[in-house]
Chains A and B, each alone.
Chain A
Amino acid sequence: MRGYGSTLGLYQPGSGFLYRTPLPVKAVVSLACAVVVIAWRSPATSAVALVLSLAALTIGAHQSPARILRMLLPAAPVLGILAVYQGVSQGWLHAVAVVGGIAACLLAARAVTLTTPTQDLLDGVARLARPFRAVGADPERFALALSIMLRSIPYLAGLFVDVREAARARGLDRHPRVAVTPLVVGAVAYAHRTGEALAARGLGGAVDEEGIGEGRPEDSGSGAGRTPPRAPGGERTDPWDAGGRPRLSPGPPSRTGVAPPRHLRC
C-alpha cells in the first residue's frame, strides 16, 4: 500500500525563502501567475511563467528538477490530451501557450501548498472566508472542507496506484473496470471514514455549540434547571464536582459492592 503514503500536493517541511514568505504574498503571486497567463496568452508568456515557477521551486523551496517533474506527472495525461487537441485545432504554438500556462499555474499553486503548513493554509482560507459570515457561512468549516479536499487528492492518487498494482499482480491490468470499481469503492470508503473521524473528534459540527468539557451543563442555556441524573441506587447525584470536573466513581461496579482490583490507578 505504498500509494496511500503519497504526499503529493501537501506541505513538506523544508528550507528556502518560500517557506519564510507569508502566505498572502505567495497566494497573490500564484494568482497573478494565473491571471497573466490567461490575460496575455502567448508562448512567450507561458515560457516566462514556467521558468519563474521552476525557479521558485528550485531556489525558493530547494526542490530537485526530478521532484518538480513528478509534481506534474498526475496532470500529464490531461495536459497531453489538451496539447494534441489544441495543436490540431488551433495550431501548435497555441498548444504550447495553453499547456505551458497550465503547467506554470499548477507549479505556482504547488509552490504554495508545498511550503505552507496545512494549518496555516486553513487559517488563511478561514480569514478569506470571514466576510461570508454575514450570509451565515462558517469560515472554519470552509477551511476544513478545503483541507480535506487537499488531503483527498493525493490519497486518491495513491489509491489509484495501489489498485492498479493489485490488478496487475493478478494479471487483470487490461480491464479498466477492474481498476475503476475498487477505486470508486475505496474513495467512498475513504470519504465515509474521514467523515466519521471528524465527527468522532467533534469537528465539522455547529460552531457555537458548547462541548460538555467547556462548562457545567447547568451553566449553559440548554442545561438550565436540569435535574441531576439518578444514580443506580436511586438517589439523585450531581455528576459535576466543585471544580467543574465530572464526578467519577472509582469504586466497584454497582452490582457487586466489592472493591475491584486496582492494577492501575490514575
Chain B
Amino acid sequence: MLEFSGAAVRTDDGRTLLHPLTLTLSERRVSVIGPNGSGKSTFLRLVNGLLVPTSGSVAVFGRDTRSQGHAVRRSVGFVFTDPLSQLVMPTGREDVELSLRSRKLPAADRRRAGEAVLRRFGIEHLADRSIYDLSGGERQILALAVVLAVEPRVLVADEPTTLLDLRNDARVRALVAGLDQQVVFTTHNLDFALESDRTLVVDDGRIVFDGLPRDAVARYREIAATAGVGGP
C-alpha cells in the first residue's frame, strides 16, 4: 500500500519535477508510462525514499518516507535501469551476500542464503564471474536477485527492460510476473505495461491518466501523437 498525499517535487531553482499528487496504490502490478523526462523516475524514487517530496508526503504501508526513510528503503527494493549502477561488488555471489548483511545472519547461514537466492533466480552458474563479464540480461537478473534477496515488501523498478534485447526482456518480464511482491515499474515497453493491473501516464510532471493499462496506453499514444512524434 503506497500513499501519496499532495506529494510534489521541486528543484532548488523552482522547477517543478512532479506536481502535487494524491493517490493510493494497492494493486500488485502498477506500471508508469510517459515520455522521457516526464517525471516517471522522480515518481519512483519517491516510493522508496531515495527522494523525499518537497511538499506533501509519501507513506509505504503507513511509514513516512521522510521520517522513516531507512526503514522504508529496507522494505522497498529499487532496481535501476542500468544494473551496473546497482551492483557494487565484483561478483554476483558477493553482491547478493552484501544485500544479506542487513539480516545479520552468521557467515555460514548468509552464504547458504546467498546460494539459495542465486539458485532461485537460475544464476548460480554466474555466481563467481565478474559482473563485467555478464551479458546485459544476466546483469539485470542479478540486479533483481540482489534486491529481492532480502525479500522486500515492494519492488520498484525503473525501466528494468530498457537496455535488454527481446529474449532478456521476456526473461525479466516473466520474472517480475512471478514475484509475490507488489511491483511498481516504469517502462517504455507498452506490452510490459499492459501486463500490469493499473497504469499511470505521466506527462510534464503530472499524472494525466490513471486506470486500466489498455486505456492508459491509448492515452499515451494520443499524447505522443499530439506531440507530433507518432504513436510508439
A-side interface residues toward B, CB under 8 Å? 4-5, 7, 10-11, 13, 117-120, 122-123, 140, 144, 147-148, 151, 154, 193-194, 196-203, 205-206, 209-214, 217, 222-223, 226, 228-229, 231-232, 239-240, 246-256, 258, 260-266
Contacts and interface: CB of A to CB of B under 8 A. Distances in A.
Given A119-B98, A229-B59, A264 B132 contact: no
Q: Per DSSP, are chain B's interface residues mostly helix, strand or loop, or mixed?
A: mixed
B88 to A, nearest CB: 5
B146 A201 contact: yes
Contacts, number: 191
20 contacts: A11-B91, A117-B94, A119-B98, A119-B111, A122-B101, A154-B90, A196-B50, A197-B85, A209-B68, A209-B70, A211-B71, A229-B59, A229-B62, A231-B24, A232-B24, A251-B27, A251-B197, A256-B212, A261-B213, A263-B177
A13 B107 contact: no
B178 A213 contact: no
Contact of A201 (B147, B182, B195): B147
Given A13-B128, A255-B211, 7 more contacts: A5-B133, A201-B99, A211-B74, A217-B61, A239-B61, A261-B213, A266-B179
A120 B107 contact: yes
Given A196-B50, A201-B102, A261-B213, A248 B182 contact: yes
B62 A201 contact: no
Nearest to B1: A239
Contacts of B110: 119
Contact of B88 (A148, A223, A258, A266): A148
Interface string B41-73: 000000010100000000111110000111111
B85 A212 contact: no
Contacts of A210: 71, 74
Identify the interface centre among B1, B29, B84, B132: most chain A CB within 10 Å of its CB.
Answer: B1
Contacts of B173: 264
Identify the interface centre among B26, B75, B150: most chain A CB within 10 Å of its CB.
Answer: B26
Interface in B173-203: 173-174, 177-180, 182, 194-198
Interface string B1-44: 10100000000000000000000101111000000000000000
B179 to A, nearest CB: 6
B74 A118 contact: no
Contacts of A11: 90-91, 94
Nearest to B114: A119
A226 B62 contact: yes
A118 B94 contact: yes
A260 B211 CA distance: 9
A206 B70 contact: yes
B97 interface: yes
B107 A205 contact: no
A253 B28 CA distance: 11
Interface of B: 1, 3, 24, 26-29, 48, 50, 59-63, 68-75, 77-78, 80, 84-91, 93-94, 97-99, 101-102, 104, 107, 110-111, 128, 130, 132-133, 146-147, 150-154, 173-174, 177-180, 182, 194-198, 210-215
A6 to B, nearest CB: 9
Contacts of A255: 210-211
B48 A253 contact: no
Contact of A212 (B27, B63, B177, B215): B63
B21 to A, nearest CB: 14
B198 A193 contact: no
Nearest to B104: A140
B27 A5 contact: no
Identify the interface centre among B85, B173, B174: most chain A CB within 10 Å of its CB.
Answer: B85
Contact of A209 (B71, B78, B150, B211): B71
Identify the interface centre among A120, A193, A213: most chain B CB within 10 Å of its CB.
Answer: A213
A264 B177 contact: yes
B101 A228 contact: no
B1 A260 contact: no
Nearest to A122: B101
Contacts of B102: 201-203, 211
B132 A5 contact: yes
A140 B26 contact: no
Contacts of A118: 89-90, 94, 98
A260 B212 contact: yes
Identify the interface centre among A217, A249, A260: most chain B CB within 10 Å of its CB.
Answer: A260
B26 A248 contact: yes
Contact of A261 (B28, B50, B147, B194): B194
